Amino acid sequence: MASKYRVAAQMFGMREFIKTPEDMAKSLVRVKKAGYDYVQISGFGPIEAVELKKICDGAGVEPIGAHVGLPLFRENEKKVIADCKAWGIEYVAIPWLPRNDYKVLADWKKLFREFEGYAKRFAKEGVKVQYRNHSFEFEKFGIKNGAGGKTILDMLYENTKVLQAELDFGWVARGGYNPVVWAKKMSGRLDQVHFKDWGIIDDKPEFRAVGEGSIDWPSVIRACKASGTKDFIIEQDSCVVTKDPFLSYTISRANLKKMGL
């Protein structure tokens, strides 16, 4: 019986290996062998959307979402929507922000309105817009006399309704917060999530394959399922230990299978 949950590999982790259509085809075959039937599109070279979908089909992997930079949303919404349809996906995430462009709370609130606008317009085209966090969104505004305040991420989701969360639990943990608490907090807006892990190497935090670091993944998985998550997406930003993203993706997938996912 097929699982109702999908586990995908985020392409950003293999960005040095997917710069041409030929390299993309070879890399996706390796992704399939690593145990993934699904991918999230990101980090690739100049490959047209229709061609990329054909390459994915040829490798036997299905795109289930994409990361598209905020500049392209601003420059050409219609192209983002058209690419999503060509890829056959219904989720697209804004994956990163130049945090220094947002100095005061008013800047952030203006951005929240912009995100919600995308989410509403894309929804009419059958595409759900998400925001993928890093750790800087856990900075607080409104601290008085050393106490109180709200995180940027809390305010983002308090000031939007249609925008979905693509919580990255590695960055949640790096930001000092509990992934389980955040998974529960975003119940109903958490269709897809990002998994990455942290370990200490030479006395500093470094990325590890999922299950090889510090995060309590079984508890996170339970909380995600309870909050309505459908897709679990693995991202290996860098591979300090293995020096090989495909090996790190393989380890992550094997560990998650042991956890029942």
Contacts 24+ apart (CB under 8 A), 74-81: 77/118, 77/121, 77/122, 80/122, 81/122, 81/125, 81/127
pLDDT digits (tens, 9 = 90+) for 11-26: 999 999 999 999 999 9
Position 1 scores a pLDDT of 45
Q: What is the mean pLDDT of residues 235-257?
A: 96
Query: Residue 2's pLDDT is what?
Result: 54
Q: Where are the domains of the chain?
A: 6-258
Report percent pLDDT > 70 for the chain.
Answer: 99
How large is the average pLDDT for residues 186-211?
97
pTM of the model: 0.96
Closest residue by Cα to residue 221 from 210, 213, 236, 207? 210
- Name the packing angle between helices 49-59 and 77-87 (round to 10°): 20
Report d(CA 155, CA 157) in Å as an integer: 5
Q: What is the mean pLDDT of the segment spanning 70-89? A: 98
User: Token pair of 201, please?
Assistant: 């190497």
Mean pLDDT for the chain overall: 97
For residue 3, the model assigns a pLDDT of 73
Q: Under DSSP, is residue 197 helix (H, G, I), strand (E, B) or coil?
A: strand
CATH of domain 6-258: 3.20.20.150
116: pLDDT strictly greater than 50: yes
How high is the pLDDT of residue 246? 97
pLDDT, tens digit, 9 for 90 and up, residues 130-159: 999 999 999 999 999 999 999 999 999 999
